Structure 1
Amino acid sequence: MLHEDMKKNYKELVEAHDFAHIGSWEMDVLKNISRWSEEAYRIYGISSKQYDGTYEGFINMIHPEDRAMVDNKITGAVSELTFDIEYRIIRPDGTIRNIRQLIIPIYNQEGKLIYLYGNIQDITGMLEFQTFLGKTEETIDRIQKRFQVLVQQSSDVFEIISPDYSILYISPAIEKITGATPEQRIGKNALEFLEGEQKQSFIRKVEHVLDFPEERSEGDLILKNLDGEDHYLTYTMSNQLSEQSIQGIVINWRDITDRIDNQKEIEFIATHDELTKLPNRVYLKRKMTQLCEECGPDQDFALIMLDIDGFRYVNDALGYQLGDQLILQVAERLKEILGEERFICRYSGDQFAIIVQNLHKSWEYEQIVKKIASLFTEAYKVDLYELDMTVSLGISMYPNDEKDPDLLINYANISLLRSKHEGKNRYKFYSSDIGIQIYKQVVLRNDLLKAIERNQFRVYYQAQVRLESNDILAAEALIRWEHPEWGMVSPNEFISLAEESGFIINLGNWMLREVCRNYRKWMEGGMAPIKVSVNYSSIQFFERNFVENILNIIAEYGLNPHFLIMEITESVFMKNPEKAILDIKRLQSVGIQVALDDFGTGFSSLSYLNSFNIDILKIDRSFIKNVMLDEASTIITRSVIDLAQELRIKLVAEGIENWDQLAYLRDLNCYSGQGFLYNKPMPLGDFEQLLVCEKCLPTELLREKEENRDKRKYLRIKLPTILEADMSIVEIPGQKFKVGKIRVEIKNIGSEGLCFTAGVRLPVNRELTLQFAIPMKDGTNVSITGFPIWVQELEENCYEYGVEFEHRPTEKVDLTMALYTLCKEMYS
């Protein structure tokens, strides 16, 4: 009865299974015959004709590796009501499918298996999906674990906050920064940990990403840890409220404290002195700029420049280590007397800058200056030495002197230089009557150390001529400085500055290399093998390995040292005569000749002729200038020429400027000479053209000057006497200010320009504005501005200039009237 019910139910089940893609089958075990549904055949990939319906045929369609397992399961099912089994089949087309079977065994009354009912399901797709799902879950799990490790190990902090600033999540790295765990932060308001502008800035960033969800916000802030220490953080912020898995504002914090600390350290090194840890001149410029921008109408300050008098000699005599100790003591005394609130800067080696603010009264600033100077009334104990030092001070005032930071620094330096020129151990406040020459020296001093790397130095040459034959015997190499503002600067104006700073050693080495480079070029070009003289300062003899350095430079260019003449003055022998004489003899031993320059001007010149063999004597130009005009100069000149002839020493007369001087020297059989009568110092290219001729003929210098004078554009009034006037500089290229005064002599004047002479070399530049104050008899001054358009050197340290006026038409009328009045006064 049960079997009949099963058959009936089986038919109904087949119809349902076909719809659900589940195959059905039944088997008469005793007859070994089975029946399959159409879906069962489809699952197995066969037709009813391909299967004989036997149990053996069924087993043969199973994958060989699964047959024994399936057979054992079916034949071993003695008492089980139902059981399921999974196995693989191989379809006729070779494909492998995964099958799940649910089998119901039917037993007779004796318990013998007589019938089997089952359904077949192709679970290949399901297993493949499960495999894919498993792999996907593994991948997701692996990614999650990696992300967790990254978040755990990252020094960055990841935070999620709600729009009302509640902290929803924060990564463990927050503990490294603040000392607080994530649990101590989550649930709290993020604004609790911020203050002031930091909080307001953070609020603005959050509001921005709320208003513009597609944009990111970035910012920086300082966060304190539990110990009160500051941490510098940078962050990016994005709106992820629409992201279901986040639903918040995501913030990525990064601790940049180390980077900021490194930047501060680099900034400190760049803006502070390594020895004293005081601010340096870079910091001073920044501080001055800030003060000038921030000072109100009722505020003022003083910039005080302090220079230790004679500091270089401490370094030379006691060494740089003791010099450094002295600098440290000076810095400490300044800090003690001025306090921490005052700005103190080490401006250069022995120079300090001090800023004093808002005293308002000039006498109060003067009291501070005197107080600073008093620091040096007590000796400095450095190692075993007690050093009595003095200082010079220069002061400029804001806003009285100037409101521009660069000019205030320049003015303080100008005042300092003036105080040193007036005898040191004193102070000077800036005033507009400080001389142009002093201002020029300040500018040159500041620019000198960079001049080599800026390629501003030039070598000029002046021929030394055999007076009898006009043959070029040698050339004196003379350095010139082509300054961007002051034009061609002569060595008289910067050599002393180079000696003070010790820069003379680098400058001398550069000079010798240039001379060697040029001489090598002459030799390769087949020019006459003349000698070249180079001037050496007494400071250069202090250079370590002085002789070796000279010989090494000459060797660099493959030259024989015989071409070189070293020009020295007797000052070389005053500081370390034993070393100087030894070095000179070593140089002479390799063929370098030595010339004693400015012979006759010192007190000991004759004594040095006994100390070693001088090769050449040079009579100073001061004697040649006055020969036949001054009895003493004439006697000295004749005596020196006689002495040189007796000692068989070659002689060079310097400063020959006219035919009378030349004729006199020739009559005395003077060996050789140099001067403007033959040629002025000239640049390399011009001298090479002269050198090709091998002779240098004297010229009429005065005629050349007259020709130059007459090349004027406008009519000038020739004055009956020299007219003295005050001249100031009111503008140098790119800078407007007033510096002066200097007394000049006006030789002629017209409505469009004037000609004057002065003892200072100025650049010829239309951007250099000069102001002339010409006194009238009634006590008033006529003020005229103009710019130099030509210059010529009349003699050493005496220059003649042509000036073109710059004025409006009405000013021209006023000037014409003033000139008319002036002429009446001078001719009356």
Structure 2
Amino acid sequence: MGFWFFKIKKYTRDLQKSESRYRDLFENASDLIQSVAPDGTILYANRAWRETLGYSEEETSKLSVMDIIHPDCLDHCMATFESLLSVEKTARMEANFQTKDGRTITVEGSVNFSFENGRPVSSRGIFRDITARRATEEALKRSYEFSKTVIDSMNDAVSIIDVSDYRLVGVNRVFLEELGMKAEEVIGKTCYEITHDRDTPCALPDHFCPLMDTAAKAQYASVEHIHRGAGGRTKYVEVSTSPIVDETGRVLQVVHVSRDITDRKRAENEIQQLAYYDTLTGLPNRTLLHDHLNLTLAQADRSKEVVAILFLDLDRFKDINDTLGHPFGDKLLKSVAGRLRDAVRKSDTVARLAGDEFVMVLSGVKDAEGLPGFAQNLLQELALPHKLEGREVYSTGSIGIAFYPMDGKNVDHLLKNADTAMYVAKERGRNTYQFFSEEMNIRAMERLKLETDLRGAMKRDELFLHYQPQMELSTGKVIGMEALVRWRHPERGFVSSGTFVPLAEEAGLIVPLGEWILRTACAQAKAWQEQGFPPLRLAVNISGLQFKQPNFVDLVEEVIMETGLDAGFLELELTESIIMENAAESIEVLTDLKVRGIHLSIDDFGTGYYSLSYLKNFPFDRIKIAQSFVRDITTSSDDAAIVEAIIVMGKSLDLKVIAEGVETREQLEFLFARDCNEMQGFYFSKPLAREDFTRLLQEGLAREGVCPFRVS
């Protein structure tokens, strides 16, 4: 009896230890564990369960499972429990529980029943809180749906490509529409099967093109392609590629966003054409000539060859323009350009610098002695009649020739020497050619002396400004003035601006000279305002070298701030040739000036052979009709038609139009009748010194609008 007693006692202790061990395991488990009686009473809940739902151990003992199950999933849970009442098995389930403070949590886990004598005595549930995970999944789902909606609503074509085999795994609506294909025709194909032939270097599936290679390295990439679209139509697209990586950083797929840039490329090509080619003749312009000539000189230097530069200027071209009109002159220039092109090899360069100036670059010259014969034949060809509009027009040319490396080592030096030789040819009777020689430097030395004097002119106060009034035709009021520089030389007397301004350009003095003019004019305009005179618009001419300075906008802003002149009273005048040398950069600089409130004007409009329809892309306020057109508007039907057209087109683009060089009553009446906005010229007033302009203001002309030349 004693043996069995101790045996039973030991078994009981072992059982208690086992139950205690299991209870400790349950109590300290991270999962939510509960035991529920068949009537729903909670028999036991571990610490994780109690802490998650917010109940104490005492409160838990008074709870029913109905108290913690969310009403929305009560039926689902009860159905699960009932399905287990008659079978000994475990069921997976997901449910929503309510915490003590009213929050809803989502749990997943397993539930089974314990049976005694075939009857259920309790159910055990082991759950894990998956609330955060479910929230993340829902957020991802919403994000995916949002992303899909956004991608499908994009105007760009989007495709997703597997990096392992280049095959498309997803595309959006625009992608399919642009290809004219259905999703099933695209998905699963390599991206190169729908790419234009020009992209075939990347066509092999095992050969990464630079774009895919960059994306495969988990980097953003962008490149331009030509794609074949519906009906074989080709277009330019800009493809931006972004990688899709897994948690280890390995690239799985790449997303291509293809934007149709055909219109942009067309515009870029047009701008390129305008920036590097003469719009009238199609020949390279000055910028492209410099590029070609630099390359030619570098090649000649390596091969020790001679390069010939021919600078050609048509003789008395201005007379043709004045008598037959600028449109006729344009036709002549195009005819001359064609003859020059036909006279050289394809490897040579023919460029138009400006007006009637052309440059020919002959590379690989083996025998310089053959150049006289070439030049003479060229002159004879140019002298042949040009058949234009049913009439024969005769024109000759003067040619200056310089050789590399004998006459210069760089582009500017060679062009300058060839230009010098051309002027000598002009002086010797025209319709001839002239080689550059050192003797020509005698005149250059004279110019150098004048240049030296000009360098000190500003320091010695020899330079000063005149101001020419600008009149509003409809009211007769003086509404502006143009600042014009003058030079009183101590020995030579007054030096024409037509002499020293081009010299300043060549000598590199135009930038400091232009800054002095701008600063002096703005200060004077502000001084007049402070004296109580009505504020007038101040027009200042800007040279090409000034405009190209990288700090030009900053300089203008600095001058305005230092002088105190309101930017709205300053107008900068630029010629067509200046802004067209680099159209894209010019637009950027002009826009920068425009946003500062500065007015912008096209000076000498019509002499640069550029299209007004193109100039609408520039933020100009005013067009100034060139004096060469105004001079003969009452005697030349061609000039009259040109002026009328400029006024009409200017107004259609909401631009003010001002005519310069008005010298007669007839010219004034012509402009008034055509509704020209403004004018300036000797008929109204010559350029006035500061004191004289002050007297004009004092007499009340600008203030009262009293003008003896007003047309009514």
Structure 2 length-normalised TM:
0.48
Structure 1 length-normalised TM:
0.42
Largest Rg, 1 or 2: 1
Considering Cα pairs closer than 8 Å and 6+ residues apart, tell me whether 1 or 2 has the greater RCO: 2
Structure having the higher helix fraction is: 2
